[in-house]
Amino acid sequence: MKQYTLLFLTTLLGLMSCMNKQNENITTQEVKREVAVPVDVTVLKRQPFHESFSYQGIVHASSKITISAPSKGTIRYLYSIGATISKGAIIAEVTSPQTLDRYEQAKLQVDRCSLEYKNKMLGLVGIKDQTLVLESQKHSIALQVGLLEAQKQFDICQREKESLKIRAPFDGQISQEISPNLQEVEVGAKIFEYIPIKAYEVTFKILESDLPKLQEGDALHVVLLSTQDTLQGELLHITPKVDAYGFIQLTGKIVPQNEKVIMDGMHAMVEVYHNLPNQIVLPKKAVLRRGGKRIVFIKKGNEAHWKYIDIIGENANALNISKGVVEGDSLIVSNCVNLAHHSDIVLEEVIEVKL
């Protein structure tokens, strides 16, 4: 009887042990399913990398000119500083008594010579219709009475008088009055600065070592420091000279925007964007730092494998790398901070990341 009892107990213990092992296996599988990290991936493709460099710059009016007095006299402005002036409008006038006197005397001389010319024409014997007078006769009479010379002198004085009216060479505004309103000025004296309304450039300096990375035509983002407005532009030219401190000056054109306030002399941060074709480009959100090195995670089956990367370029959103991953790899771009090497993952979505 005792033998049967012992056999029964042994069989019962064996059955219970098998059940416990099955339960342990089921629990382990459930835990694995619970700790697998959901991720999104993007398949790496070669693409252009928009490399960027930042510099401090100054905004300038692209066609700023200084207007000089055409004659000695008193300057009188018809527009105030900052007012919008249309091309051809009279900006200011210089009152010059000497020029006006010469103009009036020349006009009076033309009138006198014209009167004498008419009398000579009427005095021709036997000519009732002056249209029958030969052109050579008219010219000879005009020379005799001094009419041609008087008209020539009058034309000169009229141009001098008209030059006292300073007209706008293009749509713009007065940026500075060098000579105040109603002040006496000498001929050739600088009287005011005139700038265009919507034509601006930005100048900035780069280190000599940065020169190989940039080229004319590169895109610019110009951030005005006072307003934080961002303007688009293009690198126009690179000054072919290195100064004593190892800097090179560059000039970029700014694309005007009606709603943005731009002023000559504004300080700005200039970002230069240069396109490098056929690069392996990674979004910054996929890159982590582990042990002082940069890593990314690649999907291998149902696991995440980390890869060390070497970075050769950077912009606001992306990194350009030289090694670590290759075209065609499935780069994990979500929940990266929750991953470790060989972490179990569950693929949620394959997405395209535009950089």
Query: What is each CA distance from 247 to 54, 206, 208, 253, 264, in whole angstroms?
Result: 14, 5, 6, 20, 23
In a domain, 23, yes or no: no
Domain that holds residue 136: 97-163
Last residue of a domain, which of 195, 212, 240?
Answer: 195
Same domain for 190 and 333, yes or no, is no
Same domain for 339 and 285, yes or no, is yes
In a domain, 9, yes or no: no
Same domain for 81 and 157, yes or no, is no
Backbone angles phi, psi at 203, to 5 degrees: -110, 140
Same domain for 81 and 173, yes or no, is yes
What local confidence, expressed as pLDDT, does residue 125 receive?
52
Do residues 117 and 145 touch, judged by C-beta distance below 8 A? yes
**How many domains is the chain built from?**
4
Residues 215 and 276: their CA atoms lie apart, in Å, by 12
pTM of the model: 0.59
pLDDT digits (tens, 9 = 90+) for 135-169: 777 888 888 889 999 999 999 999 999 999 999 99
Residues 107 and 99: their CA atoms lie apart, in Å, by 12
- Split at pLDDT 50, 70, 90, the class of 29 is very low
Q: What's the order of all strands across the beta sheet hosting 73-77?
A: 165-167, 90-95, 73-77, 184-185
Same domain for 205 and 248, yes or no, is yes
Question: For position 263, which CATH number holds?
Answer: 2.40.30.170
Same domain for 207 and 58, yes or no, is yes
Residue with tokens 């000119």: 65
What local confidence, expressed as pLDDT, does residue 28 receive?
43
Residues 78 and 315: their CA atoms lie apart, in Å, by 49
Last residue of a domain, which of 275, 292, 323?
Answer: 275
pLDDT digits (tens, 9 = 90+) for 273-328: 888 889 999 999 999 998 889 999 999 999 999 999 999 888 878 999 999 999 99
Same domain for 79 and 179, yes or no, is yes
Same domain for 216 and 252, yes or no, is yes
